[in-house]
Amino acid sequence: DIVMTQSPSSLAVSAGETVTINCKSSQSLLSSGNQKNYLAWYQQKPGQSPKLLIYLASTRESGVPDRFIGSGSGTDFTLTISSVQAEDLADYYCQQHYSYPRTFGGGTKLELK
Amino acid sequence: QVQLKESGPGLVQPSQTLSLTCTVSGFSLTSYNVHWVRQPPGKGLEWMGRMRYNGDTSYNSALKSRLSISRDTSKNQVFLKMNSLQTDDTGTYYCTRDGLGPWGQGVMVTVSS
């Protein structure tokens, strides 16, 4: 199974700051066939189900604000949230959608400083 | 509009079998995969298994001996059955299209006598 390691586990930020969440996979998520990286990012607010933000490492889901940016390739990936807003305070998870079983990172809790 | 909704008992006794239903609308089960994901209270996400559009299934190896996923395409429903439940199976159970999105609202399952 591919192990996903996410860091940091929690992050305290002030509104307007730029934050970076990291995700590392134990195997490459880059498909040699189409040169795409199969990594997704989710946002989960308290009491809600996860919401897809980014898939294929950098493709933003429809309706997701452009302050959410996914980047990276191979085994190292990053979610950057520029100019954090109060509504962005939530848990964030990475997930590989390269192979089965699908696996998730442990999560990052974004809190207000 | 694509929607998924989980349903099932909120309380299951230890050693008993959990039966959940995911009812979908806005898409066909013969065109899209449906995944099950669970989340213990206050913890991260765990991928459980998948019903493929063609009827094939994949399971988390840690749960495979206890888990079964099936479907009724005429009713637009995907079913999860898991036996020999223990207290650490307590959590919220979600179904999601293609393992990415959208996700259902989730159903909270408590395993307790």
State the pLDDT at residue A113: 86
Q: Which residues of B touch A (CB under 8 A)?
A: 35, 37, 44-47, 50, 58-61, 94, 96, 99-106
Dihedral (C-alpha) B70, B73, B77, B79: value to the nearest 10 degrees? -10
> Chain A contacts of B102, Cβ < 8 Å?
52
Each residue's pLDDT tens digit in chain B (113 positions)?
999 999 999 999 999 999 999 999 999 999 999 999 999 999 999 999 999 999 999 999 999 999 999 999 999 999 999 999 999 999 999 999 988 889 999 999 999 99
Looking at residue A27, its pLDDT comes to: 98
> Shortest Cα distance from A15 to chain B (angstroms)?
25
Spatial distance between the Cα atoms of B5 and A56, rounded to a whole number of angstroms: 26
Among partner residues B60, B101, B106, which is closest to A101 by beta-carbon distance?
B60
Q: How far apart are CA B18 and CA B86, in angstroms?
A: 10
The residue of chain A with its CA nearest to that of B100 is A52
A87 burial level (CB within 10 Å; 0-12, 13-18, 19+): exposed
Interface test with A, best of B69, B100, B107, B108 (most A CBs within 10 A): B100
DSSP assigned state of A99 = S
pLDDT, tens digit, for every residue of A62-76?
999 999 999 999 999
Question: Tens of pLDDT along A4-32?
Answer: 999 999 999 999 999 999 999 999 999 99
Cα–Cα distance measured from residue A97 to residue A103, given in angstroms and rounded to the nearest whole number: 8
Q: What's the CA gap between A20 and A69, in Å, rounded?
A: 10
What's residue B14's pLDDT?
97
What per-residue confidence (pLDDT) applies to B99?
82
H or E element, residue B68 = strand B67-72
* Cis before B40 (ω within 30): no
The number of beta carbons lying within 10 Å of the beta carbon of residue B65 is 9
CB contact under 8 A, A49 and B103: yes
**pLDDT band at residue A112 under the 50/70/90 scheme:** confident
- pLDDT at residue A12 in the model: 95
Distance from CA of A37 to the nearest CA of B (A): 14
Search chain A and give the residue with CA nearest B105.
A49
In whole angstroms, give the CA distance from residue B30 to residue B54: 6
